[in-house]
């Protein structure tokens, strides 16, 4: 594994208690996070100005604060729904369902380990550059909408995982190699959910009815191919294709839904929900995407290349 470049991630910190705010700011710095301290009144403009924010840390006191409150928190969540919210608990009461809608993690200042663990899992930009992750989500949503034109496609907040679990029965694996990374992308989903989604008409007319497992494999396979192609066209310079480098064995144990790449590097994980627009109450088809750059990872070089990248339009005919 290549040495990982230390990335810095910005978090918005809003806590009316000055001692707690300072403690939290110190914690953030120790974790490689850059805290932006704010009062509730200035938070919305900061959220707009800093599109590269990785999370919001706030005190429970704000939920009942006269200058903030639940309505304020909702407007923050509406403005940046992808941001994970870390709530410092100041009471033992149970959160209401409305509060639970936007709070991803709760912690109390007596247990900083709990917060550290949540940050490690959730602040993906400590390892993966935010523009890369946003680009991945954008090109994946485009590929999913292309393969499932009748589905409402939504990406959940990206996060990192350290487990080696395969989600569901259908999965694909494709190698990704560039001058700045080497590793794999996986798509994983449940066979029955995929079948039901196709029968319900999320994809193209004619793709449904009697579906064998091979049809389902092909569907996920072609989706993988589209994402891979878009990733390659956007982030992989042509000179990267000349590389013939070492590989490491990948271990798969189907009985335990286990896959190992021989590394414990954190994997970037994004879950996409594909639902029927007309029947949003039905459970969505969930497709899980994972990236693991276990063979080479230099996010600095990603930044250089992506700045020069200029992908052309897709789907249009370029006549020679």
Partner 1 sequence: MAHVLVVDDSNTMREIVSSFLVKNGFEVTRANDGRDGLEQLRNDPSIKLVLSDVNMPNMDGLTMAEKIRGEMGNKAVHIVMLTTEDNQAMRERGRAIGVTGWVVKPFRGEAVLGPFKKMCGL
User: Closer to partner 1 at the Cβ: 18 or 315?
Assistant: 315
User: Which of 173, 207, 240, 303 is the binder for partner 1 (CB under 8 A)?
Assistant: 207
Pick from 180, 110, 155: nearest CA to 269: 155
Q: Which two tokens stand for residue 57?
A: 């840390």
Residue 246 DSSP label = -
* Residue 9 interacting with partner 1 (CB under 8 A): no
Please report how close the Cβ of residue 243 comes to partner 1 at its closest, in angstroms.
Answer: 15
Q: How far apart are CA 20 and CA 86, in angstroms?
A: 14
Query: Residue 113 interacts with partner 1 (CB under 8 A)?
Result: no
Other beta carbons within 10 angstroms of residue 126's beta carbon come to 19
CA distance 25 to 84: 17
**Region 145-174 residues binding partner 1, contact defined as CB under 8 A:** 146-147
311 sits near partner 1 (criterion: CB under 8 A): yes
Stretch that binds partner 1, among 22-30, 45-53, 73-81, 224-232 (CB under 8 A): 224-232
- Indicate the residue among 204 and 305 with the shorter CB distance to partner 1: 204
User: Does 225 contact partner 1 by CB under 8 A?
Assistant: yes
Number of residues that make up the chain: 320
Does the protein bind partner 1 through residue 143 (CB under 8 A)?
A: yes
- Which residue, 76 or 139, is less far from partner 1 as judged by CB? 139
CB-nearer residue toward partner 1: 107 or 180: 180
- β-strand partners of 10: 34, 53
Contact flag: residue 201 with partner 1 (CB under 8 A): no
| Least Cβ distance, residue 203 to partner 1 (angstroms) | 8
**Beta-carbon neighbour count of residue 166 at 10 Å?**
20
Which CB sits closer to partner 1, 42 or 208?
208
Question: What is d(CA 63, CA 60) in angstroms, rounded to the nearest whole number?
Answer: 6
What gap in Å lies between CA 218 and CA 172, rounded to an integer? Answer: 10
3-state secondary structure of 178: coil
Q: What would the two tokens of residue 278 be? A: 């007309």
Name which of 206 and 249 has its Cβ closer to partner 1. Answer: 206
In DSSP terms, 269 is beta-bridged to 159, 290
**Residues found near partner 1 in the complex (CB under 8 A):** 142-143, 146-147, 204-207, 215, 218-219, 221-222, 225-226, 228-230, 232-233, 238, 311-320
């Amino acid at each position: 594994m290549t040495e990982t470049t230390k990335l810095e991630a910005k978090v918005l910190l809003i806590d009316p208690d000055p001692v707690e705010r300072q403690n939290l700011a110190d914690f953030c710095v120790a974790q490689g996070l850059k805290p932006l301290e704010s009062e509730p009144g200035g938070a919305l403009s900061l959220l707009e100005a800093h599109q590269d924010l990785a999370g919001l840390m706030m005190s429970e006191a704000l939920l009942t604060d006269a200058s903030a409150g639940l309505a304020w928190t909702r407007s923050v969540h509406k403005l940046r729904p992808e941001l994970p919210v870390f709530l410092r608990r100041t009471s033992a009461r149970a959160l209401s369902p409305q509060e639970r809608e936007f709070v991803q993690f709760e912690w109390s200042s007596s247990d900083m380990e709990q917060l550290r663990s949540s940050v490690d899992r959730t602040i993906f930009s400590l390892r993966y550059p935010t523009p890369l992750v946003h680009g991945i989500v954008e090109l994946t949503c485009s590929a999913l909408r292309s393969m499932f034109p009748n589905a409402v496609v939504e990406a959940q907040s990206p996060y990192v995982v350290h487990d080696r679990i395969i989600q569901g029965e259908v999965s694909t694996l494709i190698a990704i190699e560039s001058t700045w990374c080497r590793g794999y992308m996986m798509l994983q989903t449940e066979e029955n959910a995929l079948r039901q989604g196709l029968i319900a008409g999320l994809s193209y007319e004619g793709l449904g009815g009697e579906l064998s497992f091979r049809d389902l494999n092909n569907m996920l396979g072609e989706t993988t191919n589209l994402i891979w192609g878009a990733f390659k066209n956007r982030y992989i310079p042509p000179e990267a294709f000349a590389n013939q480098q070492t590989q490491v064995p990948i271990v798969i144990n189907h009985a335990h839904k286990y896959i190992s790449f021989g590394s414990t590097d954190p994997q970037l994980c994004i879950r996409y929900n594909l639902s029927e627009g007309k029947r949003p109450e039905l459970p969505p088809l969930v497709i899980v995407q994972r990236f693991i750059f276990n063979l080479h990872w230099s996010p600095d070089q990603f930044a250089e290349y992506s700045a020069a990248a200029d992908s052309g339009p897709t789907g249009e005919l370029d006549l020679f």
